[in-house]
Structure 1
Amino acid sequence: MFRRLYDWVISLSASPYAVWALAAVSFAESSFFPIPPDVLLLPMALARPNKALFYAGVCTVSSVVGGLLGYAIGALLYDSLGQWLIAAYGYGDNVEAFRAAYAKYGEWIILIKGITPIPYKLVTITSGFAGYDVLWFTVLSLITRGARFYILAGLLHRYGNPIRRIVEEHFGVVLGVLTVFVVAGFAAVRFVF
């Protein structure tokens, strides 16, 4: 099933709608959607390594704009939608500890969590809820999300064809490793905060 999805995304990269799909997933993932944009970015960059850096730019800008929606959810709608989203991911008990950490380490939380597999929507919603400065939130989000996507895209741009061969020859192993990273991100938030 996942192999067919991978093949479909590879073929999607030739479509005129590919960039729009990537932007939509990047935007949504930063505020409410559970699937990270890497799921599209990786195969698209593997299919077209020469466009990998462009795709990283699309992911970065869309993710930060989506992060501003997440910030607004936390700042304006936390008592209803924001609290529900946090609880849906199983982190409702940890929000107060996360909010208290913002008073002391806000910029480090945004920078570190924005580059890790920890769901970024937790950072965006909590940033709004904690009243973190929106300008600094935006600047730090551009830095951390840009670093995450441009590092990945740079590697795929440089080593795209050999990486694609490895992915296609060992698809199950690569999928397993990616799954471990995503699950580890959710678990890290659950047990750290």
Structure 2
Amino acid sequence: MLKSLYDWTMRLAERPSAEIWLFIISFIESSIFLVPAEVLFLPMAIANPKKVWRYGIIASVGSILGGVAGWMIGYFAFATIAAPVLEFYGKLDEFEAMKSGIDINWILLFLITSGAAHLPPLKVVTILSGVLQVNLLLFFVAAVVARGGKFMLLSWLFAKYGVSIRDFIEKRLNWLAALAAAILIALYLVYELLKH
């Protein structure tokens, strides 16, 4: 499945409208959409490594602004917009479970883990931040660090290694996704142990 999605996005990445789609997907992924922005960012960076910093900025800005939109949905319109969206994706129960007993430290941790590897899903965390009335400036800074940092790191890797990284990613796409998830889960567990 990942390979067919990768092939589709490689074709999309070569279209003239790819940058617009990158911004749109980055924006809505942070608040209501299921597909992560990396699905389009990575093929675009592979297809045109010379524009990788531009793509990183577009994805970062879209994702950060989308996160703020998610926060606003949670803060102002949970019952009318957020709850139906979360229910549609089957995430409403997960959201309700997360909401009970959570504090600002958890929110910041979730922003980092969801911003880096979508654990838990980013839209859940942004909406939850609004529902719990997390300070918007603090939320914005955390989103800049988590999402902006991730896309800038990816941009640096592509700028440094260029097209040679394409074969590495194409051959190891599933393995890389699993490794990123495992690292973030391990960091989360370490955080829990240190906290207690």
Classify the TM-score, shorter chain: 0.7 to 0.9
Give the 3 Å change call, closer, same or farther, for CA 59–82 of structure 1 in structure 2.
same
Gaps of at least 5 residues in structure 1 are none
Distance 1:117 1:2 in 2: 16
Q: Which residue matches 1:135? A: 137
* One-letter amino acid matched to 1:177: W
Runs of 4+ in 1 over 6 A off after TM superposition: none
Distance 1:114 1:144 in 2: 5
Using the size of structure 1 for normalisation, the TM-score is 0.80
Whether the 8 Å CA contact 1:102–1:132 is kept in 2: the answer is no
Distance 2:67 2:145 in 1: 13
Number of aligned residues: 182
Q: Which residue matches 1:113? A: 114
Whether the 8 Å CA contact 2:26–2:59 is kept in 1: the answer is yes
Q: CA deviation at 1:127?
A: 0.5
Q: CA deviation at 1:21?
A: 0.7
Whether the 8 Å CA contact 1:56–1:150 is kept in 2: the answer is yes
* One-letter amino acid matched to 1:121: K
Whether the 8 Å CA contact 1:74–1:125 is kept in 2: the answer is yes
Distance 1:146 1:71 in 2: 17
Distance 2:2 2:91 in 1: 28
Q: Which residue matches 1:73? A: 73
Gaps of at least 5 residues in structure 2 are 190-196
Whether the 8 Å CA contact 2:95–2:124 is kept in 1: the answer is no
Distance 1:134 1:84 in 2: 23
Q: CA deviation at 1:147?
A: 1.2
Using the size of structure 2 for normalisation, the TM-score is 0.78
Whether the 8 Å CA contact 2:60–2:148 is kept in 1: the answer is yes
CA RMSD of aligned residues (A): 2.7
Whether the 8 Å CA contact 2:107–2:125 is kept in 1: the answer is no
Whether the 8 Å CA contact 2:75–2:127 is kept in 1: the answer is yes
Distance 2:153 2:2 in 1: 25
